[in-house]
Amino acid sequence: MNFETAVLHKKNKTERTIKSKVTPIYQTSAFAFNDLDELEGFYQGNGNYLYSRVGNPNTDELGDLIAGLEGAPAGVAASSGLSAILAGVLAVVKSGDHIVAADDLYGGSFHLIKEELTQLGIEVTVVSFSDMEKVEEAIRDNTKLLYSESITNPLLRVENLEDVASLAKKHNLISLIDNTFATPYHCQPYLKGIDLVVHSATKYIGGHSDITAGVLAGDEALIGKARGKIVNLGANLSPFEAWLTCRGAKTLALRMKQQSSNAKRVAEALKVNQDIKTVYYPFELGDAGFGAIVTIELADRINVNEFFKGLGWVKIVPTLAGVETSVSHPLTTSHRALPSETCRELGITSHVVRISIGIEDAEDIIAQLNHATNQGLA
Ligand SMILES: *Cc1c(COP(=O)(O)O)cnc(C)c1O
């Protein structure tokens, strides 16, 4: 072999079987075959890989992991939470079909269904899921999908998943639940009869604010269809990000335990702060805490920007779920896309602050937040 050829084709140690402790990163766009029989074997479903947009061991590891944690037979990863939602929706509806969605969906999801899906000829009705009779009234002959979230953002309304599942079954619809805030550590919608579970793995599953990823879990047939959409739309997750997400997910239980108990402690402490009008936290869901988001509405006398300036080491970040405590201002970030009257009806005012509780010492978090409300008074 001449140099120019050898630099590309010299036999590499990695072509031997090496038993690494963790899955290596298959940072490759495609996979090689020994002969045409092996290639044909791929199309016959022998479980080999062809091309990373179609499938990759790292992205499959993530899909399988979350399916397992959700108690679902199958799972598939996507490039973001939104692309997982898009793939899940398009696996169920086509032009001319109708979706009934919750009016308090995550802002980006709301934008996706209201702007993009309606342009594709998919009809959408947005309705409050706190009244299942209203949801049932919104169902039409062409309705195919009910879509909500297990715990909503930012006001933490807890969905009654059994009710959503039974209404879907009664009308022969597919139910889709975004389980990002609860995570499978706290809640497994598939085991309560929900057909499709979606995650922005960007949040708790990854847990370290260093990736953008999404996952869908459900039965083989639906996930197979969703996988087809991800392949055709080019919405695949990169191997490296899948690997990082799986690495983060190993500590999901430890993080959720610590972050949820911290969140409950912080929520209790903020309840006695006179400068906070309302504390939103699902206390009723367990003594150990349920989820790590605490949302507050500051008293009218508080200057919100001064409150934000007084947060010190607590960063102002328009995301959530990292190991570090951070805050966001839903009205001007995550819920910017919602019509202002919807925000008003939902109670998302300029004084609402969403706090994503991290793994720090709970008393330090409380002290910093109390300091910020003091500064907001000045
Ligand atoms: C962040 C988020 C999404 C969107 O996920 P991306 O990974 O940003 O695409 C969807 N649903 C919820 C509840 C979220 O918090």
Domains identified in the chain, total number: 2
CATH number, position 103: 3.40.640.10
Q: What is the mean pLDDT of the chain?
A: 94
Query: Which residue, judged by its Cα, is nearest atom 6 of ligand 1?
Result: 81
pLDDT range class, residue 14, cuts 50, 70, 90 = low
Closest-lying ligand 1 atom to the alpha carbon of residue 214? 7
121 half-sphere exposure, CB direction, 13 A CA radius:
4
Please check whether residues 59 and 40 belong to one and the same domain: yes
Residues within a 6 A CB radius of ligand 1: 80-82, 106, 108-109, 149, 153, 178, 180-181, 200, 202-203, 212, 214
Please check whether residues 158 and 272 belong to one and the same domain: no
The region, left, alpha or beta by phi > 0 then psi within -120 to 50, assigned to residue 367 is: alpha
Please check whether residues 66 and 107 belong to one and the same domain: yes
* pLDDT for residue 146: 98
Show which of 209, 227, 249 is a domain's final residue: 249
86-139 pLDDT, tens per residue? 999 999 999 999 999 998 888 889 989 999 999 999 999 999 999 999 999 999
> What is the pTM for the complete model shown?
0.94
* pLDDT for residue 335: 83
Please check whether residues 273 and 191 belong to one and the same domain: no
| 163, two tokens | 């009710």
* pLDDT for residue 154: 86
Please check whether residues 270 and 227 belong to one and the same domain: no
- Kindly give the distance from the C-alpha atom of residue 80 to the centroid of ligand 1, in angstroms, as a whole number: 8
Please check whether residues 311 and 220 belong to one and the same domain: no
222-279 pLDDT, tens per residue? 999 999 999 999 999 999 999 999 999 999 999 999 999 999 999 999 999 999 999 9
173-218 pLDDT, tens per residue? 999 999 999 999 999 999 999 999 999 999 999 999 999 999 999 9
pLDDT higher than threshold 90 for residue 11: no
Please work out, in degrees rounded to the nearest 5, the angle formed at the alpha carbon of residue 205 by the alpha carbons of 102 and 115.
35
Closest-lying ligand 1 atom to the alpha carbon of residue 201? 7
Q: How far apart are CA 13 and CA 110, in angstroms?
A: 49
pLDDT higher than threshold 70 for residue 303: yes
HEC profile for 134-161? HHHHHCCCCEEEEEEECECCCCCCECCH
Tokens 């202002």 label which residue? 340
54-101 pLDDT, tens per residue? 999 999 999 999 999 999 999 999 999 999 999 999 999 999 999 999
pLDDT range class, residue 13, cuts 50, 70, 90 = low
- Kindly give the distance from the C-alpha atom of residue 371 to the centroid of ligand 1, in angstroms, as a whole number: 30
Show which of 249, 266, 299 is a domain's final residue: 249
Q: What percent of the chain lies above the pLDDT cut of 70?
A: 99
Choose one of 66, 180, 335 to mutate for the ligand 1 pocket test, by most ligand atoms within 8 angstroms of C-beta.
180
Query: Which residue, judged by its Cα, is nearest atom 8 of ligand 1?
Result: 81
Show which of 249, 269, 301 is a domain's final residue: 249
Distinct helix (H) and strand (E) counts, the chain:
15, 12
Choose one of 85, 187, 203 to mutate for the ligand 1 pocket test, by most ligand atoms within 8 angstroms of C-beta.
203
pLDDT range class, residue 12, cuts 50, 70, 90 = low
- Kindly give the distance from the C-alpha atom of residue 252 to the centroid of ligand 1, in angstroms, as a whole number: 17
Closest-lying ligand 1 atom to the alpha carbon of residue 105? 13
Choose one of 66, 83, 89, 106 to mutate for the ligand 1 pocket test, by most ligand atoms within 8 angstroms of C-beta.
106
- Kindly give the distance from the C-alpha atom of residue 96 to the centroid of ligand 1, in angstroms, as a whole number: 26
317-372 pLDDT, tens per residue? 988 999 999 999 999 988 887 788 888 888 899 999 999 999 999 999 999 999 99
CATH number, position 282: 3.90.1150.10
Distances from the Cα of 45 to the Cα of 38, 42, 50, 123, 184, angstroms: 11, 5, 11, 36, 29
Domain that holds residue 32: 3-249
pLDDT range class, residue 298, cuts 50, 70, 90 = very high
30-52 pLDDT, tens per residue? 999 999 999 999 999 888 899 99
* pLDDT for residue 344: 87
Please check whether residues 57 and 107 belong to one and the same domain: yes
pLDDT higher than threshold 90 for residue 293: yes
What is the C-alpha R_g of the chain? 23
pLDDT higher than threshold 70 for residue 151: yes
Please check whether residues 11 and 148 belong to one and the same domain: yes
Query: Which residue, judged by its Cα, is nearest atom 1 of ligand 1?
Result: 200
Please check whether residues 200 and 301 belong to one and the same domain: no
Please check whether residues 369 and 230 belong to one and the same domain: no
Please check whether residues 259 and 191 belong to one and the same domain: no
Please check whether residues 236 and 261 belong to one and the same domain: no
